Structure 1
Amino acid sequence: METSSPQRTDGPLRSTLVGFGLALLGLVAAEFVTLPAFLLDPTLLESPGDASNAAIFVLLTLNFVGFFLVGGLYLRYTGRGWDWLDLEWPSRQGWIYVGIGIIGSIAFVMVVNLVATALQLPSSENQVMTLIGDDPNMVLLMIVIVFLFNAPAEEFLFRNVIQKRLYAGFSRIGAVVVTSAIFALVHIPAYALAADGSFAPLGAIGVSLAVVFGGSLIFGYLYARTDNLLVPTAAHAAFNAIQFAILYLVLRFAPEELEMAMALGGGLVAALPL
């Protein structure tokens, strides 16, 4: 599919500010739309790991609705409309790009973890893992969330809205890099604060942000090459689903190996914005 031309030509600064503002609005909206989950089970406020599976599922699902909301409102009020979406069933070449994206993402995370291990960098806490705990059933629910909400919402807002909007001020590769930088920057608060309210080690924050930035580069490149939102979405969803599937197998058949599995694949759910 050929990308629609931007409605205006902006400089890099304006385009970046618009993109960053949309990302922040997406995260703020996510906080507001998750409120029903806390009403469903107030345990989420004090002890998230002890909340019911239903409440956790609702929380994680609604968390991504905010992204759809902000992206949709932006398209509506800027006059772009739904014609701005680059959606079509991937061609044979498109599916090849999906496969490249999956393999590239797994390889990248493995390299980051090897470097982090070699440098003895600490691992950061993950809020999603706190919610999942050691319940295999919640891991299966996460696979559903990844395919129906996580990957579609993030790729819609950060690729088909923000990255495509940045084409007005940057080259395509430049837009991929800037979008990835925005994606990483808005995640700093999530990784800077540990579960107990203390500040996480800088090394742990750096490892998490490297995973987020690198993953966004890969998926952004897929979108820039294909002009088809379904390509990065499929790669993103499959990548996360594979990692959760491995986690499910560990929890179900070898729970004693959980710590080692998480050490080897510490970045597998790093990009989930909670």
Structure 2
Amino acid sequence: MSDAASTLTEGVPEKYINRTSIVRTALVLTGVILVTVAAHISATLAVVSMVGSDTSDTLTFAAVTVGSELAFLLVGSIYLHFRSSFRLPVGLPIRQVYPILFVGLIGSFVTAFLSLAITDSIVPILEFSPGYMEYSGLGEVAGSGLVVGAVLSISVIGPVEEFFFRGVIQGRLREALGPIAAISIAGAVFALFHVYPVALLSPPPAVITHMSVYYTLMGAIFGWVYHRTDTLVAPAFVHGLFNGVVFSIPLWI
């Protein structure tokens, strides 16, 4: 079978083979993204329906978070099932890459700080939109919900989202386009899934634009960590720890 394939591609210019690979990758990932959006919405609605309106805010938040993350895990696992040869590195980071983890964490916090400064200071002054908290939903989480959010960030959100966005999306893109394009596009896909729920609330365009840039940059930081360390454990750690600190900050002040 491999000999037949080799015969068919023999003499075909490499640029045409590469174009075919790019088109195939684009089609596959478009399908994966669309299925994931549907699964994400369905899981969220199903969880909200199951927990009901009488459930505490903390339990509702935890249930919705776990349900939406399971959508990423399910679609990613199905993808890997049908593409068993796909490499998914999950080894523990060696000591030599610790500086990369540190740079990734610092880059995440600097990006978040600049985002908050823009959304809560500059943007309201210009009267483009309200502050960040109104649309992020973080303002609704308090008390025990913050603790639950921090725990879920490290144990569920970081590992699952990095498995999907870096392992599946960026990994597939890297095969066809190389690391730089893969990091950039996977970052944009990461932003898509964080922005589209907010877009359903019909916020001002400035909010959508700003959040898109912010989450794309965050996704690119996690993608860079994955590329430099070659293990999903590294971006999962950076992502989870960053989110965990963000959730726990209100408990310190």
Give the TM bin, normalised by the shorter chain.
0.7 to 0.9
CA distance in 2, matches of 1:128, 1:145: 16
TM-score normalised over the length of structure 1: 0.75
Instruction: Name the aligned partner's letter for residue 176 of structure 2.
Output: G
Structure 1 residue 244, shift from structure 2 partner: 1.0
After superposition, what is the alpha-carbon deviation per residue over 1:54-80, rounded to whole angstroms, capped at 9, x for unaligned?
333222112101111111110001233
Gaps spanning 5+ residues in structure 1: where? 1-7, 45-49, 251-274
Gaps spanning 5+ residues in structure 2: where? 1-16
The question of whether the paired residues in 2 share the 8 Å contact of 1:19 and 1:162 is answered with yes
Structure 1 runs, 4 residues or longer, greater than 6 Å off:
none
Q: Which moved more, 1:92-101 or 1:158-167?
A: 92-101
The question of whether the paired residues in 2 share the 8 Å contact of 1:173 and 1:224 is answered with no
Give the secondary-structure state (helix, strand or coil) at the position aligned to 2:175: coil
Equivalent pairs counted in the alignment come to 230
Match of 1:63 in 2: 68
Aligned pairs for 1:1-274 (under 5 A) are: 10-34=20-44, 37-43=47-53, 51-80=56-85, 84-116=87-119, 117-119=121-123, 120=126, 121-122=128-129, 123-124=131-132, 125-126=134-135, 128-129=137-138, 131-132=140-141, 135-194=142-201, 199-250=202-253
The question of whether the paired residues in 2 share the 8 Å contact of 1:56 and 1:131 is answered with no
After superposition, what is the alpha-carbon deviation per residue over 1:39-66, rounded to whole angstroms, capped at 9, x for unaligned?
443218xxxxx74533332221121011
Aligned CA distance change for structure 1 residues 153 and 201 (closer, same or farther; 3 Å): same
CA distance in 1, matches of 2:47, 2:116: 33
TM-score normalised over the length of structure 2: 0.81
Structure 1 residue 205, shift from structure 2 partner: 1.3
After superposition, what is the alpha-carbon deviation per residue over 1:129-149, rounded to whole angstroms, capped at 9, x for unaligned?
2652xx311100001111111
Q: Which has the larger radius of gyration?
A: 2
More helix by share: 2
Instruction: Name the aligned partner's letter for residue 141 of structure 1.
Output: V
CA distance in 2, matches of 1:219, 1:17: 24
Instruction: Name the aligned partner's letter for residue 41 of structure 1.
Output: V
Aligned CA distance change for structure 1 residues 41 and 114 (closer, same or farther; 3 Å): closer
